[in-house]
């Protein structure tokens, strides 16, 4: 749990991720945007969740940008590893690096 989140918010976030197949890509991104809008602006947890939603719906370039923004903040160890992995994968998917060299 991130300092800006609550167990209830985390539960809703997990439920949304688990219901991914129940939504169109646009609906899923909108639902994640609504959920992350509940957090204070610029919170790493919100950036990572939004980046994950973009990545899951094939919007890699946008996902990489959010991961990089999250990495510029002070992330807990788990969040940092998730952001680094997602940014590296996104850079590889968009042709801006390889899996071996894309991580910051």
Q: How many CB atoms lie within 10 A of CB 19?
A: 11
CA angle 28, 51, 87 (to 5 degrees): 145
pLDDT of residue 34: 97
Q: What does each C-alpha distance from 29 to 9, 52, 73 come to in angstroms?
A: 17, 9, 23
Domain extents for the chain? 7-93
pTM of the model: 0.71
pLDDT of residue 86: 62
Query: What CA–CA distance (Å, rounded) separates 4 from 103?
Result: 26
pLDDT of residue 83: 59
pLDDT of residue 32: 96
Low-confidence ranges of the chain (pLDDT < 70): 1-4, 74-104
CATH architecture of 7-93: Alpha Horseshoe (1.25)
């Amino acid at each position: 749990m991130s300092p800006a989140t609550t167990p209830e918010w985390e539960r809703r976030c997990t439920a949304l991720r688990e219901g991914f197949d129940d939504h169109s890509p646009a609906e899923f991104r909108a639902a994640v945007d609504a959920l992350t809008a509940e957090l204070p602006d610029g919170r790493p947890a919100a950036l990572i969740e939004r980046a994950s939603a973009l990545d899951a719906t094939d919007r890699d370039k946008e996902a990489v940008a959010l991961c990089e923004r999250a990495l510029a903040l002070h992330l807990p160890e788990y969040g940092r590893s998730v952001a680094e992995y997602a940014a590296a994968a996104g850079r590889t998917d968009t042709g801006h690096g390889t899996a071996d060299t894309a991580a910051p």
